Structure formats: C-alpha cells, structure tokens
C-alpha cells in the first residue's frame, strides 16, 4: 500500500512540475515577444544603435581608454640634450673659426706688410732682409725672383704697399706661415716653360736701373746664373766668355736671345746657323767656343 501511495505521489508531483514549467515557459515567451516588439518599434524610430558587423570596437576602446600622458624627461635625458646643444654650438664656432682662418684677410695682410715697412708705404732693403729671414729664404734665391714676379714688383729690393696687397692677395697669403707653405708652389712655377719665359723677360726689367735701357754686365751674369745656371750646361762657358768679352752691358734683345739659344742649340753647337737672326753677341760666343775646342 505504501508503495502504491508513493507511486501516486510521484505521478502527482511530476504533473505539477511540468505544469509549472509550461507556465514559466509561456511567461518567458510572452516577455520575449514584448521585448522584441519594443525593439522593433525603437528601430523604426531610429533610436537604436547599430552594433552589428560594421561597428568599430576599436573606436569604443579608444573612447574608453584614458589619454596617454607624456613621459617627463629624466635627469639623464636633460644632461644628454644639454650636451648635444653644447656640442652643436661648439661645432658651429669651430667651423666658423676654421673658415675665418682659411679665408684671406686684407687686414692681416696689411698688418703683415707694416711689420717690415715700419711707418713707410714700401718695404726697403732692411725690411726685405728681415722678411727673407722670416720666410727662410736667401735674398739671392730664385724663389724671391718668382715672388717679385707674382707681386709685379718694379724695383729690385723694394715692395710697395700696392704691389704687396695685389700680389699676396693673388697668392692668398696674409701671413709668414702661409707664404712659407706656398714656397714649393713658387718653385714649381719655374718648371712651366711658358711661365719661365715670362719670369726670364721680367727679370731684365726688374734688375736694370730704371734710367738705363740695358742691364750692366755684372748684374746680367748674376741673373743669368740664377735662371740658367742649373739648367743650361753651357752656362759656365758662356759666363767665361762674357767675362773676357768687350761687353759692358746686355740689351733686352741679347737677353731674350740667350734664353732661346739655351733652349734650341745643341751642346756641341752643331745646329747653330751663323746666317740666322742671332745677335752678334752669340755669333762671337760660338766662334770663341769653337776656337777653344780646337785648341
């Protein structure tokens, strides 16, 4: 009996349980239908936000995230930035100083001139001696002749202010050190045949007395020795000829032809044309030299 009663009780409770479930299910369905109806109405009125597949979650995230704060520089960063600025200023100053030193300065050149000219507007023999000593060149050195040619100096042993500024400006020399560094260049000018010819012609007018049209023999021999002594093997013989000759002066035509003779005539004089347009001075030299060779 108890068992039968228990079975009936279970059947009763089960039927009540399903009835309750049906009731709750119907209630939920009714609620969902109401919610769907409300959402559909709001959607028609454009009051809902579309968060479907075309939405951008990142935008939401970006709005949600707080703004990033800038990192304050540390003490080490401040020191690095300060050092960088200091290095930049130093480099600019150093570059400016180098450019200033490399640039020719007329003011420095003028001050340099008056170191040797004193209160005058010309460097005289005393100033020239000190000048040669400072640049380490003997006054009789051929490089001084080349320098005079560059300055277009008009008188031997003198440099005027105008000649100095013009010539040193062309050489970009405004100090003793710069001129010393240019000495090799001045010597190299002699290796160019065209420049050498110009210097050779210039030497005649540079060395002669301005009231004379010719060059006295002693000065001519010195200048020839300076210009041709190391390059013309016949110069020692030609110099001996001049010493025993009747000539007291050398004119410009004779001077220029000596250079041409030294460049074109063989050492044995075999290609010398006695009927050529050579000056008498050189005809006499050839005759004297041949007689000496025969004897």
Burial (Cβ within 10 Å: 0-12, 13-18, ≥19) of residue 208: buried
Predicted local distance difference test score (pLDDT) of residue 57: 41
Phi, psi of 28 (to 5 degrees): -65, -40
On whether residue 238 sits in a domain, the answer given is yes
The pair of three-digit structure tokens given for residue 36, joined into one six-digit string:
């769907």
3-class secondary-structure state, position 277:
coil
Predicted local distance difference test score (pLDDT) of residue 275: 87
3-class secondary-structure state, position 267:
coil
On whether residue 148 sits in a domain, the answer given is yes
Predicted local distance difference test score (pLDDT) of residue 25: 47
pLDDT in tens, 25-40: 455 545 555 555 555 5
Q: Do residue 118 and residue 181 come from a single domain?
A: yes
217-219-220 Cα angle (round to 5): 60
Q: Which of 121, 156, 191 is the last residue of a domain?
A: 191
Q: Rounded CA gap, 159 and 153, in Å? A: 6
Q: Do residue 267 and residue 287 come from a single domain?
A: yes
Please tell me what DSSP assigns to residue 120: S
**Domain range for 178:** 106-191
For residue 220, which of 248, 182, 179 has the smallest C-alpha distance?
A: 248
Its sign, for the CA torsion 241, 244, 246, 251, is: positive
On whether residue 27 sits in a domain, the answer given is no
Predicted local distance difference test score (pLDDT) of residue 81: 58
Q: Do residue 133 and residue 181 come from a single domain?
A: yes
Residues 143 and 128 sit within 8 Å (Cβ to Cβ): no
Q: Do residue 221 and residue 260 come from a single domain?
A: yes
Predicted local distance difference test score (pLDDT) of residue 274: 87
Predicted local distance difference test score (pLDDT) of residue 251: 97
Q: Helix-strand-coil percent breakdown of the chain, rounded to 5?
A: 70, 5, 30
pLDDT below 70 — which residues of the chain?
1-101
For residue 165, which of 155, 156, 176, 173 has the smallest C-alpha distance?
A: 173
Predicted local distance difference test score (pLDDT) of residue 135: 97
Q: Which of 130, 161, 191 is the last residue of a domain?
A: 191
Predicted local distance difference test score (pLDDT) of residue 35: 57
On whether residue 19 sits in a domain, the answer given is no
On whether residue 143 sits in a domain, the answer given is yes
Q: What is the CATH number of the domain that holds 152?
A: 1.10.238.10
Q: How many domains does the chain have?
A: 2
Predicted local distance difference test score (pLDDT) of residue 295: 79
Q: Rounded CA gap, 178 and 135, in Å? A: 10
Q: What is the CATH number of the domain that holds 275?
A: 1.10.238.200
Q: Rounded CA gap, 278 and 273, in Å? A: 8
Q: Which of 191, 221, 239 is the last residue of a domain?
A: 191
């Amino acid at each position: 009996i108890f068992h039968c009663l228990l079975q009936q009780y279970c059947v009763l409770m089960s039927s009540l349980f399903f009835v309750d479930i049906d009731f709750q299910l119907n209630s939920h369905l009714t609620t969902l239908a109401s919610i769907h109806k409300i959402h559909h109405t709001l959607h028609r009125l454009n009051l809902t936000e579309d968060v479907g597949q075309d939405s951008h979650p990142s935008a939401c995230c970006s709005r949600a995230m707080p703004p990033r704060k800038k990192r304050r520089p540390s003490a080490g960063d401040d020191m690095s930035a300060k050092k960088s600025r200091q290095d930049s200023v130093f480099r600019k100053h150093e570059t400016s100083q180098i450019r200033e030193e490399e640039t020719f300065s007329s003011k420095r050149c003028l001050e340099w001139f008056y170191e040797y000219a004193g209160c005058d507007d010309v460097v005289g023999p005393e100033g020239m001696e000190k000048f040669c000593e400072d640049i380490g060149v003997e006054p009789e050195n051929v490089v001084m002749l080349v320098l005079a040619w560059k300055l277009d100096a008009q008188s031997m042993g003198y440099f005027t202010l105008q000649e100095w500024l013009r010539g040193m400006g062309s050489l970009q020399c405004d100090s003793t050190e710069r001129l010393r560094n240019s000495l090799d260049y001045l010597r190299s000018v002699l290796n160019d045949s065209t420049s050498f010819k110009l210097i050779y012609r210039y030497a005649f007018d540079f060395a002669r007395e301005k009231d004379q049209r010719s060059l006295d023999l002693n000065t001519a021999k010195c200048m020839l020795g300076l210009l041709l002594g190391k390059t013309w093997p016949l110069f020692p013989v030609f110099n001996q000829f001049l010493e025993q000759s009747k000539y007291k002066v050398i004119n410009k035509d004779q001077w220029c032809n000596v250079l041409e003779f030294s460049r074109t005539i063989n050492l044995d004089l075999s290609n010398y044309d006695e009927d050529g347009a050579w000056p008498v001075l050189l005809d006499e030299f050839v005759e004297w030299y041949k007689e000496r060779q025969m004897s």
